[in-house]
Structure 1
Amino acid sequence: MAQRKGCLIGCGVALVLGVGALVLLLFGVGKLMDVADRALLDPGVYQSVNVGDAEDSVRAKLPSGETFIKGALKEGGPAEPAGSVCSWCVSAADGKDAAETVFRLCYKDGKLAEKVEYRVK
């Protein structure tokens, strides 16, 4: 009887741990999808904005871009223009190789001052 009770307790613990691992896995996938939503930009949208456009109208077309991958995107690109504030997005059209196309948009004095496209690995 004691042996059966120990087996049931062990099976219960394993079940709880398995359910917990599944919940963590689903949470992680959800977070990755959230990051993708906040960092992916369609190349057509990037092409539609021009230097000199109002910052507010450009930002309204972009995802927030605020993700933990922002630092990696900054490191792989050219120097930022002095006195500007920049945002980074990854091209939604990538996926063919290990390199990613990054779109960097820099604003100064309420206008789009520079837009740069570059590749990072």
Structure 2
Amino acid sequence: MPYAIRRRHADQAAEERVRLSEILRETQAQLAYHLAWTALESPAVGDAYKNLVQHLRRTAGIAMHEAWEAPAITSDTQMNIPPAVIDLSELVQYETAYLDAVRAHLHELLPWWKRLRS
């Protein structure tokens, strides 16, 4: 969303606020759905996903706030947004933990004779 906000149509400010707010609302609904789904599937996976989403929301929330305060881009050269503006590197550890939890959960679902070989 921070990227979309920075790349909004400056000449249609009111329409863009509504459009981007609706996208964000849908994204939040999808996150809520997947938070519930992963928690029901596996508490360990659910906890790891929840942790990832919490940190993502914090990082994205700050970046979205800054994007709304910045002027919309007006040229092609502004399309590339550097990591100094939106830094997602902090999330790597949480993404890795989530993927490790998924991998462990899926391994547990294998039949016992297949687990012996892996």
Is this a same-fold pair by TM over 0.5?
A: no
Greater length-normalized contact order (CA 8 Å, ≥ 6 residues apart): 2
Larger radius of gyration: 1
Point out the structure with the larger strand share: 1
TM-score range normalised by the length of the shorter chain: 0.3 to 0.5
